[in-house]
Amino acid sequence: LLDEIEQIKNLGIKINDENLFIAENATLILPFHKELDEIREDSKNIDKIGTTRRGIGPAYEDKVGRRGIRVIDLANEKNLSKKIDTILFHHNSIRKGLGKKTVDKEAVMKELIKISPAILKFSIPVWKKIEELKKKNKTILFEGAQGILLDVDHGTYPYVTSSNTVAGASLVGSGCGLDTINYVLGIVKAYTTRVGEGPFPTELKNEVGKKIGKRGKEFGTVTNRKRRCGWFDAVLVKQSCIISGINGIALTKIDVLDEFKELYICVAYELHGKEIDYFPSALQDQIEVKPIYKRMDGWLKNTKGIRKWDGLPTNAQKYISFIQDFCDVKISSISTSPSRDDSILIEDPF
């Protein structure tokens, strides 16, 4: 976190306790969380999930297990010492069982005390700050970090992240009331990608998939692993829109599809000889479903940099309109290049 703050400062952006706030009840991800994550991913006895190895899963386990160390704990050394005893009792028990070196309490304590002042100066009850902004009718934007299908409850469990990623989770994490959100924007690529392990019904394990990945520069932002690529899965997107209460879709990377003569959109699945219109919850069913496609003609024209709807090729318009009609959610914007300026704004969410 402190490294990220310094990186932002180096870009010429001022960071202080008037424009950056850290929730005092936020749980800390510590070095031994990352180590445990790596131990599990490298183990031959545990099915690989394909995590980012950042320690997120183990940190969430400690949070739910009521032994996590939170930002506010840094303000009281006596209490912090007790909390470290509790969390290390758990972690060192696991490490001993795995034949790994145990974590030294004094080293953890020393490091946390060292960084405490730099973190605590930003620490506040964030829920109060948000309520203050609400009363001033300020615009509040919550940004999600991961896809809805990585949600721990609604995703491809167990190949998911360790928390809820649906829009409603922003209220829980920030401490806002249900009346806070009045518009949810879903970010969706014009095709489908996935990093790591797990079910992927429309995955293309052929030259077409490789071409999409190459044109879209599909590499994981954290791990730099190649993303798996496939056709647009309208069933997954529609289901995600319903679960997350999506009001508008920002469709990205339409230009990546410029060189394809034909395109396919998944509109249903076949499972055990029957057609279904939703993505099932059981992992084995998620693996076994076969996509049912609608074929569409490609446009074979350059869309890069187009900023008006009328400037798009007719077949590109048809492709986008079909997605909108099938998902029953308005396409609010379309991006036509990596540049944020190369966008077609149809509906302003603000």
Q: Which residues face 219 on adjacent strands?
A: 226
CATH dotted code for 2-124: 1.10.300.10
Q: What is the pLDDT of residues 228-277, one digit of tens each?
A: 999 999 999 999 999 999 999 999 999 999 999 999 999 999 999 999 99
Residue 54: what pLDDT?
85
Q: What is the pLDDT of residues 170-181, one digit of tens each?
A: 999 999 988 899
Q: What does the domain layout of the chain look like in residue ranges?
A: 2-124, 183-345
Residue 53: what pLDDT?
84
Q: Cis before residue 31, ω within 30 degrees of 0? A: no
Residue 44: what pLDDT?
64
Q: What does the mean pLDDT of the chain come to?
A: 95
Q: What is the pLDDT of residues 324-346, one digit of tens each?
A: 999 999 999 999 999 999 999 99
* 350/344 Cα distance (integer angstroms): 15
For the chain, state the CA radius of gyration.
23
In the predicted structure, residue 47 carries a pLDDT above the cut 80: no
Q: What is the mean pLDDT of residues 150-154?
A: 96
Residues 6+ apart with CB under 8 A from 325: none
pTM listed for this prediction:
0.89
Q: What is the pLDDT of residues 62-120, one digit of tens each?
A: 999 999 999 999 999 999 999 999 999 999 999 999 899 999 999 999 999 999 999 99
Query: Residue 40 — pLDDT band, cuts 50, 70, 90?
Result: confident
Residues of the chain above pLDDT 90, percent: 88
Fold for domain 183-345?
Answer: Adenylosuccinate Synthetase; Chain A, domain 3 (3.90.170)
Residue 200: what pLDDT?
98
* 157/141 Cα distance (integer angstroms): 28
Of 305, 275, 304, give the one whose Cα is nearest residue 289.
275
In the predicted structure, residue 225 carries a pLDDT above the cut 90: no
* 36/103 Cα distance (integer angstroms): 11
Q: What is the pLDDT of residues 294-317, one digit of tens each?
A: 999 999 999 999 999 999 999 999
CB atoms near residue 312 (< 10 Å): 20
Q: What is the pLDDT of residues 49-58, one digit of tens each?
A: 677 788 999 9
Of 185, 157, 118, give the one whose Cα is nearest residue 282.
157
Residue 46: what pLDDT?
64
More confident residue, 43 or 179: 179
* CB 240, CB 149: distance < 8 Å: yes
Q: What is the mean pLDDT of residues 24-42?
A: 93
